[in-house]
């Protein structure tokens, strides 16, 4: 019987042999691993493959290093470009429609008084620049208008400022409106006379394209005084 009890009480496996060992604190560790099997490698240490975040490649990557930072900026830039062209299309469409209406209904007819002698509608053909200046330089003004359009198109690539988008859209729409007259109205290509019809008292006759150009220019001056660049950066003195 004593031999049988000894055999039954003797563990058959190495893991079972450590089942009754005491931890340094005095607590039993039944079934727990012992020796080298119970040693854990430090997190992120050699041979462990790093932390979980490090293993999947998302940890330790600087912001924007994989292009996410620039990708976050691009949609904002596209929205500003959309504003620029939307404003330009609206300004151009209003100018073109008003000129077509004036030529059809008002040209070669008496002026229409809106506010007594202070404001009236009078159709005239202007071979010069805005407000009738420089009639001897029609071709030069045509080239300038085309150059303005090219410059605005180049600025649009780095446009992140909403006020600048509105200002450049007004300039673009106005320049396109008057350039259309230069190209397609008499007396010929690059020399066409612009249709003007808004006639305030003691002031030159102008059109909606001229108004858009002036408003856009004033807005650009104000933005420059405030130190705001087309890319959205602000310069503070």
Question: Which residue out of 27, 210, 231, 237 is catalytically annotated?
Answer: 210
Active site residue 95: no
User: Count of CB atoms within 10 A of residue 123's CB?
Assistant: 22
Active site residue 210: yes
CA 158/CA 106 separation, integer angstroms: 43
β-partners of residue 113 are: 120
What's the angle, vertex CA 222, arms to CA 219 and CA 227, rounded to 5?
Answer: 125
Sheet of 112-115, strands arranged across: 112-115, 119-126, 194-200
Question: Which residue out of 196, 229, 231, 237 is catalytically annotated?
Answer: 196
Residues in the chain: 237
List the structure tokens of 164. Answer: 């600048």
**Residues assigned a catalytic role:** 196, 210
């Amino acid at each position: 019987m004593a031999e049988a009890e000894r055999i039954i009480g003797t563990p058959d496996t190495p893991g079972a042999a450590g089942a009754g060992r005491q931890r340094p604190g005095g607590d039993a560790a039944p079934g727990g691993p012992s020796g080298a099997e119970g040693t854990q490698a430090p997190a992120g240490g050699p041979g462990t493959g790093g932390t979980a975040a490090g293993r999947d490649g998302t940890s330790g990557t600087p912001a924007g290093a994989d292009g996410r930072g620039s990708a976050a900026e691009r949609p904002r830039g596209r929205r500003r470009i959309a504003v620029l062209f939307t404003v330009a299309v609206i300004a151009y469409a209003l100018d073109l429609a008003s000129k077509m209406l004036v030529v059809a209904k008002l040209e070669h007819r008496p002026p229409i008084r809106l506010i007594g002698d202070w404001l009236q509608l009078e159709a005239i053909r202007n071979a010069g620049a805005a407000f009738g200046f420089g009639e001897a330089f029609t071709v030069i003004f045509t080239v300038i208008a085309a150059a303005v359009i090219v410059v605005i198109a180049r600025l649009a690539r780095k446009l992140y400022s909403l006020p600048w988008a509105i200002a450049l859209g007004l300039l673009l729409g106005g320049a396109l409106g008057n350039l259309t007259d230069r190209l397609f109205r008499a007396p010929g290509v690059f020399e066409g006379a612009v249709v003007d019809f808004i006639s305030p008292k003691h002031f030159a006759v102008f059109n909606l394209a001229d108004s858009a150009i002036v408003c856009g220019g004033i807005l650009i001056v104000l933005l420059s005084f405030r130190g705001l660049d087309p890319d959205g950066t602000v310069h503070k003195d």
